């Protein structure tokens, strides 16, 4: 039986909403984690030289959280959904960063943040892809 076009469109919209929700959740987790890191730096518990590494780690953890949300809502293609949520999170950070700051220079570490976001989403897709096949008990 062939699926109607409405069912396929509904599936695409559901997937896009999952990706968007994962990107927003990942962004919020990343911002919260970076706020904690900045508080630790302000109190002198962490060195300022670790800022870029903490930003990359925050992007990875945020994309992992957002990708997990996206993968849980998906019915298939979990790796794609996780990476797409990581990409959505990065694009959200990029857009808000362009609005909040006067200039944007991609050579200031944007590639590392992109890679961390995609890797976090891919990790969520890999960790979230579990086999749904039920194993039968062997009868002896």
Mean per-residue pLDDT of the chain? 85
Domain positions in the chain are 23-98+113-125
pLDDT score at 30 = 94
Residue 69 reports pLDDT greater than 80? yes
User: What is the pTM assigned to this prediction?
Assistant: 0.82
Residue 50 reports pLDDT greater than 50? yes
Q: Are 10 and 61 in contact (CB under 8 A)?
A: no
DSSP 8-state secondary structure symbol assigned to residue 133: P
Q: How does pLDDT run across 99-126, given as a tens digit for each residue? A: 887 766 666 778 888 999 999 999 999 9
Alpha helices in 74-109 (DSSP H): 78-100
Residues 6+ apart with CB under 8 A from 117: 26, 59, 60, 62, 63, 86, 87, 89, 90, 93
């Amino acid at each position: 039986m062939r699926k109607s076009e409405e069912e396929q469109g509904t599936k695409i919209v559901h997937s896009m909403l999952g990706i968007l929700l994962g990107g927003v959740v990942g962004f919020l987790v990343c911002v919260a984690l970076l706020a904690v890191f900045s508080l630790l730096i302000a109190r002198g518990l962490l060195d300022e030289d670790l800022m870029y590494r903490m930003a990359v780690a925050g992007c990875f953890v945020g994309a992992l959280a957002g990708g997990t949300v996206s993968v849980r809502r998906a019915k298939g293609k979990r790796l794609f959904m996780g990476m797409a949520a990581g990409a959505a999170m990065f694009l959200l950070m990029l857009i808000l960063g362009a609005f909040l700051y006067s200039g944007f220079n991609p050579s200031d570490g944007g590639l590392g943040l992109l890679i961390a976001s995609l890797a976090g989403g891919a990790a969520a897709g890999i960790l979230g892809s579990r086999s749904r096949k039920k194993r039968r008990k062997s009868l002896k």
